[in-house]
Amino acid sequence: MGGVTSSMAAKFAFFPPNPPSYKLITDDATGLFLMDPFPHRENVDVLRLPTRRGNEIAAVYVRYPMATTTVLYSHGNAADIGQMYDLFIELSIHLRVNLMGYDYSGYGQSSGKPSEHNTYADIEAAYKCLEENYGTKQEDIILYGQSVGSGPTLDLAIRLPQLRAVVLHSPILSGLRVMYPVKRTYWFDIYKNIDKIPLVRCPVLVIHGTADEVVDCSHGRQLWELCQEKYEPLWLKGGNHCDLELFPEYLRHLKKFITSVEKSPSRRSSSRRSTDRIERPRRSTDCFEAPRKSTDRRERPRKSTDRPEKLRLHEYKFNNMDKLEKFRTSFDQMEKSRRSVDYHEKSRKSIDQQLERARKSVDWLDRIRVG
């Protein structure tokens, strides 16, 4: 049931370009992958990466000399990395960062079919490549999610406790909320970003156009409100869903954000779990879940979690008091019994004394008669 519903939702959520905007070819001389029709660049690696769900995705890695930060870019739902290629190059140059972009399963030259959980596996494969092939540390990575790409971005972000930062570009609250103004999170919804954003523990920049006709600007505003570490958002007046990169403020604000997080202390407090490994994926949202209250509005403060402990302590005290009371009652009964025995013992002695005196008195009278 969950898989069928998720597949139906996927038909509304994913629009891979058909045909793809590029082809992957192998260079005979070097054995390297090349993207046709783009010329080969020495600082660009073209890759094919296996995912844990059995697919193989296409990706590009753009190197910038002496860069300390790497951006992992998840594109929108009607694009592929061929269409994004020139933007990737420009962002790498102007932001002075390394950048990896990848195609979701079923997009471009990636195998498989697009689905919510395939995209989660796709971004994990890209992250794993950065970590293992390029030696990139978790605390030097900024996750960038555009439109539907905000889904895999936030899903990975909540499992990387040392992540440097997150950028959400025209993000969605959830798949269902793009079409209907629902106030609950339903089990059949996809990309439940509204429930995940409060769990992200690094600075978050939200960029959204005020005239977005695909994903209303209220999505971005609400996600920003729910962030733990808010960075000054960028609401581009008159900006639509696919033209924000054309605004001068876009690049300027993005560069300011990256400079700011690069200068901030490295991730984060020593009390946090210091691991560069991805935490285990959470239970599939394709499985049936009962509808639960949405985080559309802030939740009331939860009651202290030490209540069960206090309850147990109270029960312990109560039980002990009960035992003590029973012991005290038993002791009192024993004491009364002892006193009763003592009383009867004293009474017996008193009678014996009286009898002894009477006997002596009789003996005295007998002596008088004899005399």
Identity of the amino acid at 56:
E
From the list 74, 92, 115, 147, the catalytic residue is: 147
Interhelix angle 81-95/248-263, nearest 10 degrees: 60
How many C-beta neighbours within 10 Å does residue 81 have?
28
| Catalytic residue (choose from 189, 212, 216, 286) | 212
Q: What is the DSSP letter of 52?
A: T
For this structure, is 170 an active site residue? no
Buried b (16+ CB within 10 A) or exposed e, 18-42: eebbbebeeeeeeeebbbeebeeee
Active-site residue among 110, 241, 253, 294?
241
Structure tokens at 281: 């994926």
State the Cα–Cα distance between residues 90 and 102, nearest whole angstrom. 16
Nearest to 103 by CA among 90, 130, 116, 84: 84
Whether 40 is catalytic: no
Give residues with Cβ within 8 angstroms of 188, minimum separation 6. 2, 5, 6, 9, 176
CA distance 15 to 72: 21
Catalytic annotation present for 105: no
β-pairing, 229-230 with 203-209?
Answer: parallel
Q: Which residues are catalytic?
A: 147, 212, 241
